[in-house]
Each structure stands twice: as structure tokens, then as C-alpha cells.
Chain A
Amino acid sequence: MANASLIPAGDFRTSYAADTTIFPTKTSRNTAILGVILIAFAPLVLTGYWLSVLIQIGIFGIAALGLNILVGFTGQISIGHAAFFLLGAYTSAYLNNNLPIPVFFTIPIAGVITALVGLVFGVPAARLKGLYLVIATLAAQYILIDFFSRAEWFSGGSVPASANPFSLFGYTLRGDKSYFYVVLAYLLVSYLLVTNLMRTRDGRALVAVRDHYLSAEIMGINLTKYRTLSFGLAAFFAGIAGALYAHYQLVVSNEGFGIERSILFLAMIIIGGIGSISGTLMGTAFVVLLPEAMEWISMELKGGTIDRALQLNNNLTFLREIAIGLIIIAFLVFEPDGLAHRWRQIKAYWKLYPFSH
């Protein structure tokens, strides 16, 4: 029954394997594969602008996925995620610039190094909970950013560091079109890894820590280990994403990666759906596209009748920022379970159509 193309009425799962399967039906698996194949054709069809938007969604999606392991699956909190993202970016650029390691290898190495640093900053999580933990992770944000702006040997200090394009054994990929596939590959692997992680013993332990840490401890789960581990995992994906970002932008600057970016990462997973892997990607897409959409609207408004009547001029920029804030608030009020939940409802609606009750 597990390979049926449609989900049968009633619950026929008779094994744990069937219970934890990623794709319940053949159709869902084929759709996913088809989706990936279609996305792979994007560089041939899309303009440079849209391609760069997709690449950004991909990169930030990986970082947000890491944060969702920490927040959504383990029930911890971090407002220092952007600092780990930046650490990955600087590490990969530094390794590639100073050692004869091609970018192909520096990206995963940067992920591992960031994970180690993440483990260190995760140690307070063994003792702290809730708001106290928030402040502890805030320290990570400030310590790391301050380190980047002073450690000239590592990050170039206040001057942006340069990073090389993606290369492997002398073969260099240039341009967004080819880099898109690098990001796509990392995105697929990351999402598959995390999806599978949640089906393992360790994944279930993380969820148990989130749901009821006392019960989890009584069941024999080492709380310290799993809480710290989740910080390491979160930092790992942040580091990978940061490294990808460094070799995409070719410049690493610590501007724009302060606490507001960390909050934005939290916004991605909250909007997408806390503890939902597919929701993470939806939330990231939403957060990346929202300022772009506001940009189009403000471009349309510029010089138009509304602009002239209200004398908006340069205030359009500020209106745009305000609108982004308002939309996020509205989202939290009307869609508290995130985009993943809405997506399930849409699917359910069509599944039962026209007999939904």
C-alpha cells in the first residue's frame, strides 16, 4: 500500500518505516522530483534579477533551516543566527584566500568550523532557558560582530573582505547562472539531511526535548547533549549558507548582519511555520520577496498621482519599511501557524473538493 499513487481512506500503515516516510505516495514523490527538474531549468528562462532572487531564497533558506532545527524542533531560541552566518562567510573566504583550498571544499569546512563555534556558544543553553537564553545568544551576536570589525588578520577589519568565485581544481564557475546550481545542490542536500535527521533517534530526541524536557530526561535523553547539539547543527547550516553567500557576493562585509538580520531569520521560520521543514523554505521566500514586492510598488507609486498628492518623495523608502513591518504583524495575527499550515489547508481543501465540510 505504501507505493500507491493515492492515499487510501483510513490509516493502513503497519510499520515504523511507513509511518516516517517522506513521500506518502508515488505521486507526491514524482511531483517533488518534477519540481526539482523544473527548477533546474530556471537559469535558462529567468532574467538575472529573478535568478538572484531565487539564489537568495536558496541561501537564506539553508540558514533558516538551521534555525528551525534549534527553535522549531528543539524548542531553544537564538537571536544570534546572523553572526554565525557571517562567521561562515568570513571563514570560507579566509581559508580560500590564505590556504590552497578550492572553494568547493572551503564551504563545508566553513560549515564545520562554524558548528564548532556554535557548540561553544550553545553551552549556556545547557543551563539557561527562555528569556535568559535569549540574552546569552544576544552575546554571541555582539561578540562575533565585534570580533569581525576588529580582527583585521581574519576579516579585514572594517574594510569588506573579498572572496573568490566558486572553483574546483582550477575550473571556475562564473556568473549567477552556474552558481544557481551550486546553491540548488546545497539546498536539496540540506533539506534532505534535515528531513532525514528528524526521522532518526537523535531527531526524535530533539523533539522530545522541545515537547517536555522533564519527560525527555526521565526517558534517558541527555538534555545538555541535545541542547548543545542543536546549537551546533543550527550554526552548521548558518555557516554553510554564509559561505555560499560569500562566494556568491564575492565580497564579505559585516554590514547588514546585525541583530536585525537575526530577527529576520526568526521571522522566516515564524512566518513559514515553526517546526516545519517545507514551511522554512516558504517563509524564506516570503521574507525575501516582501521587500522586493514593496520595491516594485514604490517604483510604481513614484512620480504618480498618489506620490504627488501626498508629497511622498523620499518618504516612500520609509513607507516601504513600515509596510514590511505591518505585513509581518498582520501575518502573525491572522496566520499564526505559518505558511506551512495554510498550505496543508489548501491541499486538504482540494483533496476533499467538492465535498469538504
Chain B
Amino acid sequence: MTMKSLLSTASLALLIATASAGAQAQIAIGHLADYSGGTSDVGTPYGQAVADTFAWVNKNGGVAGKQLNVDTNDYGYQVPRAIALYKKWSGGDKVAAIMGWGTADTEALTGFLAQDKIPDMSGSYAAALTDPEGTSGKAKPAPYNFFYGPSYSDAVRAELMWAAEDWKAKGKSGAPKFVHMGANHPYPNAPKAAGEALAKELGFEVLPPLVFALAPGDYSAQCLSLKSSGANYAYLGNTAASNISVMKACKAAGVDVQFMSNVWGMDENAAKAAGDAADGVIFPLRTAVAWGGSAPGMKTVEEISKISDPSGNVYRPVHYVAAVCSALYMKEALDWAAKNGGATGENVAKGFYQKKDWVPAGMDGVCNPSTWSDKDHRGTMKVDLYRAKVSGSTDGDLKDLIAKGTIKLEKVKTVDLPRKPEWFGW
């Protein structure tokens, strides 16, 4: 019995080994997606876009004539599962690159990535991932971590600068009160120190942070303490679904506060779900335009979208468009690597350093120009702040609601942050 089962296991293992050997002519890529975990509300469109983009790349000739073999896995936003998948990707046939996701798992992987020389384009924009050499003294070196867009810390800095102006413009006196809200989790915590430090500098009174879970729930208690503390500006650090719960509860409790959200904290779906509770929320947009915006690059995004929606009728939220940009940067870094010594992780990372003010081919007017260097992985310092405008009932199809203008994303301000060394790495 034992012998037989062992033999069959061994032969199965051999089979798997030969099967993967047959796939040598491809470039392997690992893809961590969250379709079922705490951030699945925004992880689903992002993950879908990454999968669609690589499928589209494959349809159009792949990278240097080789097809991309993308291993997409739903890891449920759990660090242990991400690490198990990483072990699979880093052992044996090593992947050339990883499209990562959450802050906790990306930070857990940072050391391994550096050791195994595998670049990771994460969905986490934690500022700790921007320091490739650890020179800032604020973070551990993260030489193989990349992301597209402003870091969480830089986004909250820009929001606070806007808030300080907003306070003056409204002619209010005294010090405005700022509060950080989010789960006790690496992702909402990532920009906490940076936001609170700048808020103090700008003359805000910083209130003790309020904790609410990453999942939707009843957050009336948080809204009541928000009300009693008299906060004027509240930063929402979680993802859209749980932020909506807070906004709705606060609307019901009659809290008069200006919400500013993290880049993952607001999108068109969230605005539809929250209804008028989402009206007025400030959030950063990573792309120059949202879905359906007028830009030459939007054609490419629409083509990519047709991979999973041949009808072309689905409205794609901001995270989809941003993920297309992220995946295409990775594709072009792979292109460079394939032409300059082969698509190994080390070369792919070098591929990110080759261009200044880089926009992937065919994405003009969509992806914001980004520059990565071997000393500084802050791709961009420009933060476009938008306001969600919701007027009227949000029942019905999202596409119609946007077309009718019931839900609008309105540009408020573009903040060009200086590339200050004291803002590096945190």
C-alpha cells in the first residue's frame, strides 16, 4: 500500500516536472490577486485588469516573441498564502517577475525578493517600499519593489496640503482637526506617521487615530467619537467597502467632516454603493483620466478590457485602469530585459530604470509619466486629487449613472510634491 502510493506520488511529481520543463519557451510571471479576502472589493478589478493585460500582450505577440505564462492566484489577502505561493514561484523554475498586491504580504516578501532577485510590482504603495538601498534610514532596503502611482504617504501629504488651503478658503478660524482612520493593519497604518507629522507641521490639531475593521460593518461608534471630537478632516485608510460603511454611518449620525481617502478607498462602484454619503470625498486618482475619458491611450485600455468583456459594455473602475498601467510598465521592463541579456529578475528590475518620464506605448494620456531610479523608487510625486460628486439616486447601471452625470469624478487640484529627502521611505 505504502510503496504503491509512494510510487504513484513520485511518478506524478515526475509528470509535473516534465510538464513544466516543456513550458521553457515562456516567461513565467506570478500574480497575487485578492478576489475573496479583506480587500477583494478593489482587488477584483485590479486583478482582473492584470490578467486581461497580460492576456492581451500574449495575443499581440508576447514579450520578444515569447508568451507570458501568468500564474494568477487568489490568496485571500493572507500573508501565509502569499508566502506559500512565493515559495512555489521562487523555487525550481523561477518567475521573471511578480505582480503583487497587499501591504502586509509585500512587506513580508521584500527580503526574499531582494535575496532571489525577483522584481515585484505591488498593489501596495507603502512608502517603505520606495527605498531601494535603505539610505533613508526609515525603511529596510527594498531593491526589487516597484509600484505605479504616488505612495500612500505622498498621497496623504497632498491631501493635507489641499485641506490646509481648503480651511483657509472657507474662511474658518482656529486650527483644523485631523484624524487618521483605518484598521490596525500594515496597509492603513503605512501612511499614518507621515500624515500626522505633516498635519502638525501645517498647523492641524492631530486627534488620536480611530480604528475600524477592513471589512464592512457597523461603525456608528466611530462616527460618534468623530462627532464628539469635532474632527474637520478625516483620512480613511481602508479600502472602499469598509470606508463606505463609515461614510454611511457618519451621514446617518450627522457628522460634519471632510473625508479624504486612500487611493484604494474610493472608486465609481463605491460611490454608487454609498450614494449621497460619498458626495464630496477627496481621493487621489492614479491615471490622468478615468474610464471613458478622452485620451489616445483609452483605446488600448478598451481593447484590453474586451479580453474579459467582449461586449465592451462593462464600466471599469479606476483601479482597473491603474492596473493596466502597472502591468504594461512590467511588460515594457520585461521587453527591455529580453533584449538585454534575457528576462531574468535582475534584468527586469534594470528595465525599470531605463526611461525618464516613462509612459508605456499606446497609453498616452492615461498613465502618468513615471521615473524609477536605482536610488529612488518613488515613480511619481504628482498627486491628482479628485472629488466624488453624487447627485441623486444611484440605483441602476453604473455605466448609465456615469453617463447621466449622477456620479462624477471632479478634479480638485494637482499637487506636485517636492522630492524631499526627509519624505523618503516613510
Contact = CB atoms under 8 A, between A and B. Distances in A.
A160 B108 contact: yes
Contact of A47 (B6, B13, B79): B13
Q: How large is the interface on A (under 10, 10 to 19, 20 to 34, 35 or more residues)?
A: 20 to 34
B87 A47 contact: no
A46 B10 contact: yes
Interface in B3-31: 3, 6, 9-10, 13, 16-17
B111 A149 contact: no
B104 A159 contact: yes
Interface stretch (A14-22, A69-77, A92-100, A249-257): A249-257
Given A46-B13, A48-B92, A160 B107 contact: yes
B380 interface: no
Given A38-B6, A158-B189, A253 B104 contact: yes
Given A49-B88, A176-B91, A256-B79, A159 B10 contact: no
A176 B83 CA distance: 13
B29 to A, nearest CB: 16
Contacts of B220: none
Interface in A200-233: none
A27 to B, nearest CB: 13
A256 B36 contact: no
Interface string B178-200: 00000011100100000000000
Contacts of B76: 317
Given A52-B88, A253-B79, A31 B112 contact: no
Contact of B13 (A50, A159, A175, A321): A50
Given A160-B107, A162-B111, A317-B36, A251 B83 contact: yes
A49 B13 CA distance: 9
Given A35-B2, A48-B88, A158-B189, A314 B44 contact: yes
B227 interface: no
B87 A253 contact: no
A159 B107 contact: yes
A81 B278 CA distance: 41
B74 interface: yes
Interface of B: 2-3, 6, 9-10, 13, 16-17, 35-36, 44, 48, 74, 76-81, 83-84, 87-88, 91-92, 104, 107-108, 111-112, 184-186, 189, 308
Closest 3 CB pairs of A and B: A48-B91, A253-B79, A251-B108
Interface of A: 31, 34-35, 38, 45-50, 52, 56, 149-150, 157-160, 162, 175-176, 249-251, 253, 255-256, 313-314, 317-318, 321
5 contacts: A149-B184, A160-B79, A256-B81, A314-B74, A317-B35
Given A158-B185, A158-B189, A256-B81, 11 more contacts: A38-B2, A45-B13, A48-B91, A48-B92, A49-B16, A157-B184, A158-B184, A160-B79, A176-B91, A255-B80, A317-B74
